[in-house]
Amino acid sequence: MKNSESFLSTYNKLDHYLKGLDPSDHYRSFSSVLNRLKESNKVVSHYEKKLKSYNNLRNAIVHERMDGKVIAEPNDYAVNDLNSIYMKISSPRSICDVCKHNIIKLNHKDSLSTALTVMKENDFSQLPVYNGDDFVEMLNTETVSSWMAHNIEQDTVSIQETKVSDVLCFKSDYRVTLFHSRDTNIYEILELYKDNAYNSKQIDAIIITHNGKKTEKPITIITDYDIPVLLETI
């Protein structure tokens, strides 16, 4: 099979799939469908520029011929890349497939000593704090430092007697924890971090639960350290 034939086969499958996502007008052009879907579909949005280029290539293959022969024969890269994009759009990997972390939780009544020991043993800079099944807040080293700075002059302060809940009172208002469902894909997570770059609040972590609710058992947790892994996956 010629590259042009393989390319058009994948293109047609992608065109059919995208129009199935937005069936309001099945006769709209490929570019029009892209422009509409990119607002709601983060995978489509990520590959928008490439797809528009491949749409131009498709038009050249179909419409620009000489003596009945294709004059814009795609190379192997274009054929394989379009197929890869089609697979990623039609079956995007969920965040749970890529980031599988065992979550270590703290109880809000745990001592600061216990918290610091767990953080040191696991080389963590932050840990989620729960009250039973309910998420309370993320405890991070910045919050601990703020607590220490506030209490530095009090020689009687004890990390064994201080509870995690007392330290959390010193958490910055500019740090947030987000919750998303297990169906969230890696492109949606990356988009959250991208959008957050222009926000005044910093993401401490994104906790994944079954339906994205705070009261649900955490499945995995995403932090800044996971971003390079996610970027290598796309």
Could you read off the pLDDT tens digit of each residue along the chain, which spans 234 residues?
Answer: 889 999 999 999 999 999 998 777 667 889 999 999 998 899 999 999 999 999 999 999 888 777 667 778 899 999 999 999 999 999 999 999 999 888 999 999 999 999 999 999 999 999 999 999 899 999 999 999 999 888 877 666 788 989 999 999 999 888 899 999 999 999 999 999 988 877 778 899 999 999 999 999 999 999 989 999 999 888
- What does the block give as tokens for 212? 């994205």
- What does the block give as tokens for 54? 């491949």
Residues 6+ apart with CB under 8 A from 95: 180, 182, 184, 185, 186, 188, 189, 208, 220, 222
Parse the chain into domains and list their residue ranges: 3-91, 97-233
Q: Which ranges of 123-196 would DSSP assign to H, the alpha helix?
A: 141-151, 164-167, 186-196
The β-bridge partners of 185 are 94
The yes or no reply on domain 97-233 and CATH 3.10.580.10 is yes
Do 72 and 64 form a contact (C-beta atoms < 8 A)? yes
